[in-house]
Amino acid sequence: MFSPKKTKFRKQFKGRIHGVVSRGASLSFGAYGLKALEPMRVTAAQIEAARRAITRHMKRVGKVWIRIFPDVPVSRRPAEVRMGSGKGAPEYWACRVYPGTVMFELDGVNETVAREALGLAAAKLPISTKFIERIL
């Protein structure tokens, strides 16, 4: 799974996901893409599950670009632990996804295969998405 090699700090504040994306809202590499429509945190496991669904459906033909990276450590306290005594240990890595972010891009396959593959990937993600294609 994805995680940063090193970070400046081990733990981070939760933060809020406000507004729409300013960069990364259009296709840069492939002909087809999957765009986020709502703000949410997407975990590294969800990104990996979506990537596996795409590559399996495409039968490893063509190319896949992952445009998001989980760089936010999410900490969690153990179950049934009393209040106080600090913040919990980092449990997993997540990515803040803003509305309009292109999360995955594909190329080298026809539109029907790309639409089905990205549909399978969208089922693995916790947010609503839409299929986009490059306008020639």
Quick check: is 95 in a domain?
A: yes
Confidence of residue 127 (pLDDT cuts 50, 70, 90): very high
Confidence of residue 135 (pLDDT cuts 50, 70, 90): confident
pLDDT digits (tens, 9 = 90+) for 29-74: 999 999 999 999 999 999 999 999 999 999 989 999 999 999 999 9
Q: Which helix (H) or strand (E) holds 106?
A: strand 102-107
Q: pTM here? A: 0.93
Quick check: is 106 in a domain?
A: yes
Range(s) of the domain holding residue 121: 32-79+86-133
Q: For residue 1, what pLDDT is reported?
A: 83
The answer for residues whose C-beta is within 8 angstroms of residue 131's C-beta and 6 or more apart is 32, 33, 34, 35, 114, 115, 118, 119
Q: Which CATH number fits the domain that encloses residue 92?
A: 3.90.1170.10
Quick check: is 66 in a domain?
A: yes
Quick check: is 16 in a domain?
A: no
Quick check: is 90 in a domain?
A: yes
* CB-based burial, 68-86: b 16+ in 10 Å, e otherwise: bebebbbeeeeeeeeeeee
Total tally of structural domains belonging to the chain:
1
Quick check: is 97 in a domain?
A: yes
**CA angle, 78 then 84 then 89, to 5°:** 40
Mean pLDDT for the stretch of residues 6-14: 95
Quick check: is 43 in a domain?
A: yes
Quick check: is 12 in a domain?
A: no
63 close to 108: Cβ distance less than 8 angstroms: yes
